[in-house]
Amino acid sequence: MSKFAKVGSVRRSWDTAIIGLLLLVWVFASLTTSNFLTPLNFSYIFSNTSEIMIIAFAMLFMIILGEIDLSVASILALGSSMLGWSYAKGAPIWMAILICILVGTACGFVNGFLVTKLGLGSLAVTIGTLALYRGIANGLLGENTVNEFPEFWTSFGFDTIGKSFMPKTLPLIIFFGILFGLLLHKTPFGRRTLAIGQSPEAAKFAGINVVRHKMIVFTFTGFMSGVAGVIYTFRFSTAQADNGVGLELLVISAILLGGVSIFGGIGTMWGVVAGVLLAGSVESWLTLQEINAQWRTIVTGILLLISVAAPVLVQKGKARRERKALKS
Amino acid sequence: MNFLTKLRPSSRESSLFIILIVAVGGTGLINPRFLTGDGTRDLLTSTSVVALLAIGIAPIVVMRHIDLSIASTVGLSAWVVADFCAKNPSFTWVQCFVIGSIIGLAVGILNGLLVAGLRLPSLVVTLGTLYIVRGLVYVVSNSVDYNAQEMPESLLALGQKVYFGLLPFTFLMVIIAMILMALFMKYTKSGRDAYAIGSNPPAADLVGLKVFRRTFLAFVFSGVMAGIAGVFYLMRFAQVDSTAFYGQELAVVAAVVIGGVTIMGGSGTVVGAVIGALLVQTIQGGLAALGVDAFWKAAINGLLLIIAIYADRVLAVRNEKQLLAQRIRERI
């Protein structure tokens, strides 16, 4: 028990550390580049991270549960392809959007069904559905792209509100952020999520319906991936089968960067928001420094390794100091 | 009864083999060319890279770990080997394999230290190294591609070499690696330890198995195999750019799982992994012969993987029930 408490406190301090780190990156970046701390640049950061942020809100619950969903980027692509495909076939735009979100939700439900009802491992299953959903998108659109969308919606994906720096998608993201933040931290549902992550067995014996709970989380992860699909489609004004390739890894690395434990049971909403923004800010700084885009892949990887290694190293150092203190 | 339970592990491979033969036969019915020497040779050549990688990660998956960085390592190895060869025209296939192995070794050591040394989850670590290694390919390649004329003739000749009219050199190497590794996993202490670690990691720790050393070496082995697979890639395609083998790690995981290596660790064999790789390739070939659009390839791969995991689960549950029933009988 004491072990858990200690890990918990390290994690908590990592949550706050990440916010400090984010501020540090902002200070450093604005000192080294003249146009980092500008409204326009922040608009870019928010806009570039919007899909990652949206999916991360749901994925947070997934990872706290001790499960993982690697198929989110493929769901985004399938939703986006369905949106483009149905719109090109003459469906009204609102219906196309609805189809995108419904397809996303259905994909999430299928993942949940395979994991909970058939008892298969989420890692293996979602590697399978990653290929499956992307493959269906491929089969549906092939190499075609759809990029004729109504002005109103492409403007929603790309423009800012009036003359302010806020992208038009920001209110939506804030809405979902608050919704999922409250859900995790202020409701029994959130508390149950954390309990299942700490110990699925204990949670089951405490009377939590673990199967139903996981089912719900898988389904709303699909839903959010569908929403992200809508935003992605309109931001780039393109629906094609290879939209968002590899996005799942960005989402997971941002979440781990935000202090969520890959072993489940620990995680906070503000940590995740800070993690996503941190990754986005570093990326933006690299762009402004005109550092070769190719380096960004390496930086993403290093950030991911740091995010998973740092809490463990901090914990190890602490244990060693304590042992020394005990000896002397 | 005792005899039957002893037989069980190998029965998995034999049933897979039967499925493979049915798949090959079915494809042959649609497209008779598939059954000729040329068809077999094509199938084996196109499977070599994935099969070699499958041999590499099978022990890792048995240990309840995963290595996602292999596809990036293949890309790095292939590009760097081509680069060395382009700059040193005197190089032959020997140097290619040495350079490829060294690159794989380096990535493997990095993965091994992070996973075994710091005890970090392998999924996240190898996800990180997947990015880093692929990023390195982007950076060092700087958008330079290499084609056949920059590669050593001896290497390309080796890639074209075929024994008995149907067995390509690369697949012969796969078979040798498979046999050695299968014997290693079955008869050495290290091999048996891998299964023990995968069945129950905390227990393996408690009984004093050398978990660090075994895990570390498994990652190093997988890295080296990926490095060599990079050279195989060059031999097959005779050209390389920075996106070589991009995103193929999941195809390898799929082949291994379809081959009966449980993703939860503790069971499965290297032979199964190779059969899994062959099966995936055969089914792809069969569907192409049926006229199914290549765009559906990924979807079919995914579906196959899900079916394989489900079959695996069903078998595991049945096996557990049988063992339980047997125990109850023995007690009475």
Q: What angle do CA A161, A270, A263 make, to 5 degrees?
A: 135
What percentage of chain A has pLDDT greater than the value 90? 48
CB contact under 8 A, A294 and B127: no
Helix (H, G, I), strand (E, B) or coil at B88: coil
Note whether ipTM > 0.85 here.
no
The pLDDT score that the predictor gives to residue A4 is: 47
Q: How far apart are CA A39 and CA A163, in angstroms?
A: 10
The pLDDT score that the predictor gives to residue B70 is: 96
Range of lowest pLDDT (A39-48, A82-91, A159-168, A241-250)? A159-168
Diameter over CA atoms, chain B: 75
The pLDDT score that the predictor gives to residue B11 is: 65
| Fold topology of B2-331 | ABC transporter involved in vitamin B12 uptake, BtuC (1.10.3470)
Is the predicted pLDDT of residue B216 greater than 50, yes or no? yes
Tokens 């765009």 — which residue?
A: B295
Range of lowest pLDDT (B10-14, B87-91, B268-272)? B10-14
Tokens 């895990």 — which residue?
A: B215
With 0-12 / 13-18 / 19 or more C-beta atoms within 10 angstroms meaning exposed / middle / buried, residue A232 is buried
pLDDT band with cut points at 50, 70 and 90 for residue A324 = confident
CB contact under 8 A, B254 and A263: no
CB contact under 8 A, A139 and B66: no
CB contact under 8 A, A120 and B139: no
pLDDT band with cut points at 50, 70 and 90 for residue B213 = very high
The pLDDT score that the predictor gives to residue A79 is: 96
CB contact under 8 A, B132 and A302: yes
* Three-state secondary structure readout of chain A: CHHHHHHHHHHHHHHHHHHHHHHHHHHHHHHHCCCCCCHHHHHHHHHHCHHHHHHHHHHHHHHHCCCCCCCHHHHHHHHHHHHHHHHHCCCCHHHHHHHHHHHHHHHHHHHHHHHHHCCCCHHHHHHHHHHHHHHHHHHHHCCCCECCCCHHHHHHHHCECCCCCCECCHHHHHHHHHHHHHHHHHCHHHHHHHHHHHCHHHHHHCCCCHHHHHHHHHHHHHHHHHHHHHHHHHHHCCECCCCCCCHHHHHHHHHHHCCCCCCCCCCCHHHHHHHHHHHHHHHHHHHHCCCCHHHHHHHHHHHHHHHHHHHHHHHHHHHHHHHHHHHC
What is the pTM for the complete model shown?
Answer: 0.84
The pLDDT score that the predictor gives to residue B1 is: 40
- Give chain B's mean pLDDT: 88
Residue pair B261/B62 in contact by the 8 Å Cβ criterion: yes
Question: B162: part of which helix (H) or strand (E)?
Answer: strand B162-163
Q: Domain ranges in chain B?
A: 2-331
pLDDT band with cut points at 50, 70 and 90 for residue B3 = very low
**Optimal mutation site among B68, B124, B258, B320, interface A, most CBs of chain A within 10 A:** B124
CB contact under 8 A, A131 and B138: no
Nearest CB neighbour to B302, from listed A132, A241, A305: A132
Mean pLDDT, to the nearest integer, of A139-150? Answer: 87
pLDDT band with cut points at 50, 70 and 90 for residue A11 = low
Domain A2-320: state its class. mainly alpha
Q: What angle do CA B195, B200, B204 make, to 5 degrees?
A: 80
What percentage of chain B has pLDDT greater than the value 70? 97
Residue pair B261/B272 in contact by the 8 Å Cβ criterion: yes
Residue pair B86/B146 in contact by the 8 Å Cβ criterion: yes
Q: How far apart are CA B68 and CA A48, in angstroms?
A: 26
Number of A to B CB contacts under 8 A, please give it.
145
pLDDT band with cut points at 50, 70 and 90 for residue B10 = low
Query: Which residues on B lie below 8 Å from A294 (Cβ)?
Result: 135, 138-139, 142
Tokens of A217: 């989380």
The pLDDT score that the predictor gives to residue A253 is: 85
Instruction: Measure in Å the smallest separation between the Cα of B240 and chain A Cα atoms.
Output: 17
| Sign, CA torsion A68/A70/A73/A79 | negative
Q: How far apart are CA B187 and CA B181, in angstroms?
A: 10
- Please give the DSSP secondary-structure letter assigned to residue B167: E
Is the predicted pLDDT of residue B9 greater than 70, yes or no? no
Q: Domain ranges in chain A?
A: 2-320
Is the predicted pLDDT of residue B263 greater than 70, yes or no? yes
Q: By CA distance, what is B301's nearest residue in A?
A: A131
Mean pLDDT, to the nearest integer, of A22-32? Answer: 90
Determine how many CB atoms are found less than 10 A away from the CB of residue B291.
7
Q: Kindly report, residue by residue over A176-229, the tens digit of the pLDDT.
A: 999 999 999 999 999 999 999 999 999 999 999 999 999 999 999 999 999 999
Q: How far apart are CA A166 and CA A45, in angstroms?
A: 10
CB contact under 8 A, A292 and B139: yes
The pLDDT score that the predictor gives to residue B111 is: 96
Instruction: Measure in Å the smallest separation between the Cα of A301 and chain B Cα atoms.
Output: 4
Nearest CB neighbour to A301, from listed B131, B257, B293: B131
Long-range contacts of B190-195 (CB under 8 A, 24+ apart): B190/B214, B190/B217, B191/B59, B194/B59, B194/B62, B194/B63, B194/B218, B195/B62, B195/B266, B195/B267
Q: Kindly report, residue by residue over A253-262, the tens digit of the pLDDT.
A: 889 888 888 8
Is the predicted pLDDT of residue A6 greater than 60, yes or no? no
The pLDDT score that the predictor gives to residue A1 is: 39
CB contact under 8 A, B136 and A125: no
User: Among A93-97, A318-322, B241-245, which range has the highest average pLDDT?
Assistant: A93-97
Would an 8 Å CB–CB cutoff place A288 in contact with chain B?
Answer: no
pLDDT band with cut points at 50, 70 and 90 for residue A12 = low
* Three-state secondary structure readout of B272-294: HHHHHHHHHHHHHHHHHHCCCCH
CB contact under 8 A, A118 and B310: yes
Q: How far apart are CA A81 and CA A70, in angstroms?
A: 19
Query: Which residues on B lie below 8 Å from A68 (Cβ)?
Result: 123
The pLDDT score that the predictor gives to residue B270 is: 95
